[in-house]
Amino acid sequence: MSAEKKKSPNNAYKYQRVLLKMSGEVLMGEKEFGLDSDTVKRVANDIKEVVDLGVQVCVVVGAGNIFRGVSGSAEGMDRTTADYMGMLGICINALALQNALEHLSVPTRVMSAIRMDQICEPYIRRKAMRHMEKGRVVIFAAGTGNPYFTTDTAGALRASEMDCDAIFKGTKVDGVYSADPHKDPSAKRFETISFIDVLTKDLKVMDATAISLARENNIPIVVFSVREKGNFAKVVKGDGKFTVVNN
């Protein structure tokens, strides 16, 4: 554990620094498209609860509620152009989340892999580390800044660079199942599962590149339901239902 992440009197928990990975669809709530302000506020409150525990938090969010590069490509658009459009969608979500957090008096920085100096900071690893050490929530925007890479991979990359203790993958279900529990009532939920099993069983926790990167850097992935109010803090404390993916 690095010197910057030594336990403080305010943090008696296992995880000192975590990355929260969410899809863009989380922020649209019950809508079919875009942002739901009440859902954004609720997610911001969930993040604040974890910050109040003394845990350093960074965030990667997708843009599926606005635009997906893969779907744009499938409709005949150039894949590179479509992916860059998706990166801009991520920035919209990042700014919305920043605004909601700052309304809760949570110090926040948006750092983009693509320079947009008028609205956010460029991503610089050492600067991001300093922000987190000072208790600021860092929201990483624009993915990796490269086409053909998902926000899953961006999350695993940033978690590795930030020396995070875990990646918290917020989904619509409360862990990793042997099959889609919404389609198969007999699907089994795993308490723990290995990276190798996730890959060989093709369980779609994150894409294969992200899983491999987390495995290589020995960063566990904690899969939980982000749609349940207060669940992020509950799972950080080791309570509730979740699945841990590790070596």
pLDDT tens digit string along 51-95?
999 999 999 999 999 987 777 777 889 999 999 999 999 999 999
- Is 2 contained in some domain? no
Judge whether 7 lies within some domain. no
Helix axes 79-103, 37-52, angle to 10 degrees: 70
d(CA 115, CA 118): 9
Q: Is residue 9 in a domain?
A: no
Domain residues for the domain of 154 are: 14-246
CA 72 to chain centre: 23
Examine residue 1 and state whether it is found in any structural domain, yes or no: no
Q: In the block, which residue shows the tokens 């992440």?
A: 5
Residue 3 has a pLDDT of: 43
Q: What is the pLDDT of residue 1?
A: 44
**Is 6 part of any domain?**
no
Euclidean distance between CA atoms 21 and 47, whole angstroms: 12
Question: Is residue 3 in a domain?
Answer: no
pLDDT, one tens digit for every residue, the chain (247 residues) = 444 554 455 667 899 999 999 999 999 999 999 999 999 999 999 999 999 999 999 999 999 999 877 777 778 899 999 999 999 999 999 999 999 999 999 999 999 999 999 999 999 999 999 999 999 999 999 999 999 999 999 999 999 999 999 999 999 999 999 999 989 989 999 999 999 999 999 998 999 999 999 999 999 999 999 999 999 999 999 999 999 999 9
Per-residue model confidence (pLDDT) at position 5? 56
Give the per-residue pLDDT at 156. 98
CATH number for the domain that contains residue 197: 3.40.1160.10
pLDDT at residue number 207: 95
What are the structure tokens assigned to 203, written together?
């369980």
Q: Which pLDDT tens digit goes with each residue over 190-199?
A: 999 999 999 9
Coil vs helix vs strand at 72: helix
Domain count for the chain, please give it.
1
> What is the pLDDT at residue 75?
82
Is 8 within a domain? Answer: no
Closest CA to 15 of 228, 227, 224, 208: 224
Instruction: Single out the residue of 226, 191, 197, 192 nearest to residue 211, CA to CA.
Output: 197
Using only C-alpha atoms, the chain has a radius of gyration, in whole angstroms, of: 17
Any domain includes 211: yes
